[in-house]
Amino acid sequence: MLHNRRILLGITGSIAAYKSALLARELQRRGAHVRVVMTRAATEFITPLTLATLTGHRVYSDFTENKDQGLWTNHVDLGLWADVFLIAPATAQTLSSMIAGAGDNFLLAVHLSSRCPVVVAPAMDLDMYQHPATQENLAMLKSREVSVIEPESGPLASGLDGKGRMAEPEAIADWLESWFAERAPLHGHHVLVTAGPTHEPIDAVRFIGNRSSGKMGYALAEAFATAGAAVHLITGPTQLTAPANVHEIVEVQTAQEMFNETMARFEKIDIAVAAAAVADARPVDAADHKLHKDQLPGAISLEATPDILAAMGAQKTPTQFIVGFALETDDGLRSAQSKLERKKADLIILNTTADAGAGFGTDTNKITILEKSGKTHNFELKSKAEVAKDIVETVLNTLQS
């Protein structure tokens, strides 16, 4: 769930600040983009150089950069950049300043101007933590929808033993993962995506295939996973590395295998996206050994393969949602519309090889989305990752409406 998340890490002046270096590393290891904001007091405990080196980005702690030249750092931009502002460790001082709405250091100004959710991981001595002022501040922050990652109990830097230690970096990263998961729009939904070509054997080494690279299906699997879904990726043969965070990947070769694996799961699927370029026909007789040159038939008889999209359309319940793809060599709007109706799909994604940069093998695609209602949405040529996000968004909007 942290893959590609933008996390603004705020560090304040607690002895636990040394753990923030490990936290930054752990968040990055899980795929997050991390930027760091520090208070002046925090820089006494851990250097900005350490955090800048670990994250590969400059660290922000002042409003101005070079006073002689009048350069200043835009605290508003940082707040807008982030998906979440995580202040870890959060001192008693910073918690109370947040309550007061203070903006007298850079971190507090970012807090006031950020539109993203704010999460704090308090760290302080036992008595500071238990003090009614701190407890009231935390209660008030919660009432303002700031999330609190509870500190842990154990030996404290003061020599006392009790509650106040900042949660360990791994525990904070786990907490954030669940936090993002719960907020993701498709949390708890199962999405099945088919991807890539299928290979229909002629003999043990030869096959009939097509030019699909699988890139669009893999991008979709990743985009649905980012939206919180448990993604089941049923993929034909591709050269691609597995997308991040998918629930399961099932590798198949033929249309029949893809059909079997898809239909075996279909009952528990909420959204199915048929992005694979499934062969429409296969050789009637496939030899189970390699045919010698002189044994090759002059003609290959073909038979139809099972139609996965149509089978899903026929079985689907009113709560299931099906998305099909139509690849055409002309503008194809009419045949895409007919496919939508014949296959009982909810959306059809039309892409045409007539558009430069669209279709098989490319890293980009240009699509038109057709809805059952007859509405169409035209999109510009974009990377397949961006196209996948557009499709997820359209699915979400259609489901909501």
Q: Which residues bind ligand FMN (CB under 6 A)?
A: 12-16, 39, 41-42, 91-94, 105, 123-124, 128
Give the DSSP H/E element, type plus range, for residue 37.
strand 33-38
CB of 19 to ligand FMN, least distance (A): 11
Distance CA 325, CA 128 (A): 60
CB of 60 to ligand FMN, least distance (A): 14
Q: Which of 4, 210, 351, 365 is catalytic?
A: 210
C-beta closer to ligand FMN: residue 22 or 311: 22
Say which residues have a Cβ less than 8 Å from residue 41's Cβ, sequence separation at least 6: 12, 13, 91, 93
CA-derived radius of gyration, the chain: 27
CB 58, CB 74: distance < 8 Å: no
Distance CA 277, CA 216 (A): 10
CB of 33 to ligand FMN, least distance (A): 24
C-beta closer to ligand FMN: residue 13 or 217: 13
**Is position 66 annotated as part of the catalytic site?**
no
C-beta closer to ligand FMN: residue 15 or 234: 15
User: What's the CA angle centered on 15, arms 9 and 20, to 5 degrees?
Assistant: 25
Three-class DSSP labels, 305-321:
CCCHHHHHHHHCCCCCE
CB 94, CB 87: distance < 8 Å: yes
C-beta closer to ligand FMN: residue 92 or 348: 92
Distance CA 39, CA 6 (A): 20
C-beta closer to ligand FMN: residue 39 or 235: 39
CB of 124 to ligand FMN, least distance (A): 3
Q: What is the dihedral sign for C-alpha 171, 84, 42, 92?
A: negative
C-beta closer to ligand FMN: residue 128 or 149: 128
Residue 109 token pair: 């100004």
CB of 95 to ligand FMN, least distance (A): 8
CB of 157 to ligand FMN, least distance (A): 6
C-beta closer to ligand FMN: residue 151 or 359: 151
Q: How far is CA 297 from CA 205, 285, 362, in A?
A: 15, 10, 34
Residue 72 main-chain phi, psi, to 5 deg = -135, 160
User: What's the CA angle centered on 57, arms 55 and 60, to 5 degrees?
Assistant: 110
Helix (H, G, I), strand (E, B) or coil at 187: coil
Residue 350 main-chain phi, psi, to 5 deg = -100, 125
CB of 96 to ligand FMN, least distance (A): 9
CB 190, CB 270: distance < 8 Å: yes
| CA terminus-to-terminus distance, the chain | 26
CB of 114 to ligand FMN, least distance (A): 17
C-beta closer to ligand FMN: residue 39 or 137: 39
Cis peptide before 243 (omega within 30 of 0): no
Give the DSSP H/E element, type plus range, for residue 273.
strand 271-274
Q: Which residues are catalytic?
A: 210
